[in-house]
Amino acid sequence: MNWNRVLHFATNGNPEPDVRVHKTEEEWAQMLDPETFRITRRKGTERAGTGALCYIFKPGIYQCVCCGASLFDSSIKFDSGTGWPSFTQPIKENAIRYEKDVSFGMIRVEVMCNACEAHLGHVFPDGPPPGGLRYCINSASLVMKDN
């Protein structure tokens, strides 16, 4: 993945996910705690440096807290100094959904779980080589499964 590919998806549509998960807002609210619901279903964010997964760098797979879809591998996680878990690439191209986000007077690219459309965070073109991407993700959007 690179920034041009991200922009292509955000502008022209996303790849099909392996599976789709559909639930009503009421069903999501019943299964998630209020903070996780606020972040994943209402496009919220957690305060920098407060997420449980910010500073964990052990081997594992990061999955969507809502539907369990695999999103990121720990081998592509890095300390960006931002206070949120940061990754250089998704686990596979169709794991993430991209949408243009013009909230708060900025133009950004929102990233979501492509299976259930849970809000994860945003992707920026200021990450390390080779792709130059920084997926800045809310800890509350993820669960980690050990390898």
What does the pLDDT read at residue 95?
98
**pLDDT, tens digit (0-9, with 9 covering 90-100), for 78-89:** 999 999 999 999
Q: Which domain holds residue 43?
A: 3-146
54 as an active site residue: the answer is no
Q: Which amino acid is at 4?
A: N
Report the CATH number that the domain containing residue 100 is assigned in CATH. 2.170.150.20
What does the pLDDT read at residue 146?
86
Q: For the whole model, what pTM was predicted?
A: 0.94
Could you tell me which of 118, 106, 12, 104 has the C-alpha nearest to residue 62? Answer: 118
Residue 42 CB burial class (10 angstroms; 0-12, 13-18, ≥19): exposed
Which residue carries 């972040």 as its tokens? 39
What does the pLDDT read at residue 12?
94
Could you tell me which of 38, 110, 131, 122 has the C-alpha nearest to residue 85? Answer: 122
pLDDT less than 50: residues of the chain: none
What does the pLDDT read at residue 108?
87
Which of 66, 67, 113, 136 is catalytic? The answer is 136
Q: Which two tokens stand for residue 115?
A: 């299976």
Q: How many domains does the chain have?
A: 1
Beta bridge partners of 111: 98, 121
**Distance, CA of 108 to CA of 112 (rounded, Å):** 13
What does the pLDDT read at residue 42?
96
What does the pLDDT read at residue 86?
97
Beta carbons within 8 Å of 16's beta carbon, 6+ residues apart: 94
